[in-house]
Structure 1
């Protein structure tokens, strides 16, 4: 009976660690990205602008940034994660640039 309880406890611990490893922070950042896009659509509507389109950053891409409206947080993890910067270009058009960035919560990690 003790062996059965031990095996059950071990299986529960393994299952919970797998559940946490299944992208808990990915879901958090996904929700953050969705919330930013929704907020920027509302911002565009309130300011009489067209809703911004998401552009994925490519190395060497030329950017025309006249005014930064919003940048998503990169806190909560030490891993590389998606982030977005919403900005107006020199013509006043809203843009969302999506890119990868390193997290800022890297205490004791190099």
Structure 2
């Protein structure tokens, strides 16, 4: 229950920042990654698991995703941005992937 409360609180804090991304793109990206890592650090601590290193996704990489723990919120910057996803594999080990996505644009119809 504490995990869910922590994640909801984190998402509530991040949502306004993400939906009104007028600040410096790089500082916002660093903040999103930092918030993601803080939430995952808490999850890892609560579940007695080591904090995973961030691994860059490469095309064709074989993934063993049993349970998605957290995906970083999307930024609206109209460009390619880094995204993080943390998941447990079939052995229960935590993994964090960083990959690139084309973000939604603000004011997009």
Q: What range is the shorter-chain TM-score in?
A: 0.7 to 0.9
Partner of 2:89: 89
Alignment of 1:94-105 (within 5 A): 94-105=94-105
Distance 1:101 1:108 in 2: 16
C-alpha displacement of 1:39: 1.4
Secondary structure at the aligned position of 1:35 is classed as helix
CA distance in 1: counterparts of 2:108 and 2:33, whole angstroms: 27
- Displacement after TM superposition at 1:95 (Å): 0.6
Tell me the CA shift for residue 64 of structure 1: 0.5
SS in 2 for 1:68: strand
Residue matched to 1:48: 48
Q: Does the aligned pair in 2 maintain the 1:74–1:102 contact within 8 Å?
A: no
Matching residue of 1:59 = 59
TM-score (norm 2): 0.73
Q: Structure 1 unaligned runs (5+)?
A: 1-22
What CA distance in whole angstroms lies between the structure 1 residues aligned with 2:35 and 2:59?
26
Q: TM-score, normalised by structure 1?
A: 0.72
Separation in 1 of the partners of 2:101 and 2:79? 8
RMSD: 1.7
**Partner SS, residue 32 of structure 2:** helix
* Alpha-carbon shift at residue 108 of structure 1 (Å): 4.7
Q: Structure 2, unaligned stretches of length 5 or more? A: 1-22
Give the CA deviation at 1:106: 5.2
Q: State whether residues 57 and 99 of structure 1, in contact with CA within 8 Å, keep that contact through their aligned partners in structure 2.
A: yes
CA-CA distance at 1:49 after TM superposition: 1.0
